[in-house]
Amino acid sequence: MVKERKPGMQIPETLAVVALGVELFADSLREQGVKTVSTAWTPPADAREARILDMLVDLDD
């Protein structure tokens, strides 16, 4: 059986961006005509919520 070779990293010719945090950077992408979705990101309310979110990310892997 021939093992399929991974194509390696590819960079898309057309970017579609999700932005979390400083809105200035998202605005700059929009000015360049890049599809950009800004999230209503907020920090976790407390340490407990942060721990739960961290556990969910680890389960995501």
Partner 1 sequence: MPAYLKIIPATYHDSVMLMRAAGSVKKLPGVGEAGFFMGSKANKDILVQSGLGGPELAKADTGDLVLSVAADSPESAEKAFAAGLAFLSEKRAAGAGPRRERPASLAAALAADPGLNLALISVPGEHVRREALRAINRGLHVFIFSDNVPVEVEVELKAAAARRDVLCMGPDCGTGWLSGVGLGFANEVPRGRVGMVSASGTGMQEVATHLAKSGHGLSHGIGVGGRDLGDAVGGSMTFRALEFLDRDPGTDLIILVSKPPSPAVMPKLEAALVKLKKPAVVCLLGLPAAPRGGASLVYVPTLVEAARAADAALSGRAREPLELDDLTLVLANDLKRPGRALLGLYTGGTLAHEAEDILHARLGGVAYGDLDAAAAGRHALIDLGDDCFTAGRPHPMIAPETRAEWLRKLGGNPKVGVLLFDLVLGRCSHPEPLTEFLAALAETRKTNPDLAGVATVVGTLGDSQDVMRQTLLLQGAGVVVAHSNAEAALLAALLVA
Q: Is 4 in the site for partner 1 (CB under 8 A)?
A: no
How open is the CA angle 55-10-20, to the nearest 5 degrees?
Answer: 40
Is residue 33 within 8 A of residue 14, CB to CB? The reply is: no
Q: Is 24 in the site for partner 1 (CB under 8 A)?
A: yes
Question: Does residue 28 sit in helix, strand or coil?
Answer: helix
Task: Give the nearer residue to partner 1 in terms of CB position, either 2 or 22.
Answer: 22
Binding mask 29-58 for partner 1 (x = CB under 8 A): xxxx-x-xxxxxxxxxx----x--xx--x-
Query: Between the CA of residue 60 and those of 5, 14, 51, what are the distances in Å?
Result: 26, 26, 14
Query: What's the min distance (Å) between Cβ of 2 and partner 1?
Result: 20
The residues that touch partner 1, with contacts defined as CB under 8 A, are 6-32, 34, 36-45, 50, 53-54, 57, 60-61
